[in-house]
Structure 1
């Protein structure tokens, strides 16, 4: 299993635990998370804080753009980009 896949799996598991209606199979890597009512401004903020603490990355204010974090795949790519 690749590092990217581990990150995707970790993010997916977290989102399944915090988003209602996001049970097994509901979150595909490229699915727009804004489809879930819980992924509102507060849900996005909580997810970004979780990403920072879990993967030990810092997301600068100028990079806080929803379009960068609206899918599991984009989050995983962001984390990988920060780790490089």
Structure 2
């Protein structure tokens, strides 16, 4: 279920970036690929580049913090799996 949610979110972001990039004179193929691969980070950078800086920086910072937390949790899970809880 979580994988489906992430994929659906990336597809929605991709569609938004492709449609909106045409309005701002940006390359829609580039922003569509970046939106699908990088998700919220690409959306934040796109918003920064199209002069919506406050929202763009908030989205970029929150998504980077989220990715760092996921990396930390996976690292802790690997650590506790190999070392044990004792």
- Tell whether the structures are fold-level matches, with TM greater than 0.5: no
- Larger Cα-atom Rg: 2
- Greater relative contact order (Cα < 8 A, sep 6+): 1
- TM-score of the superposition, structure 2-length normalised? 0.36
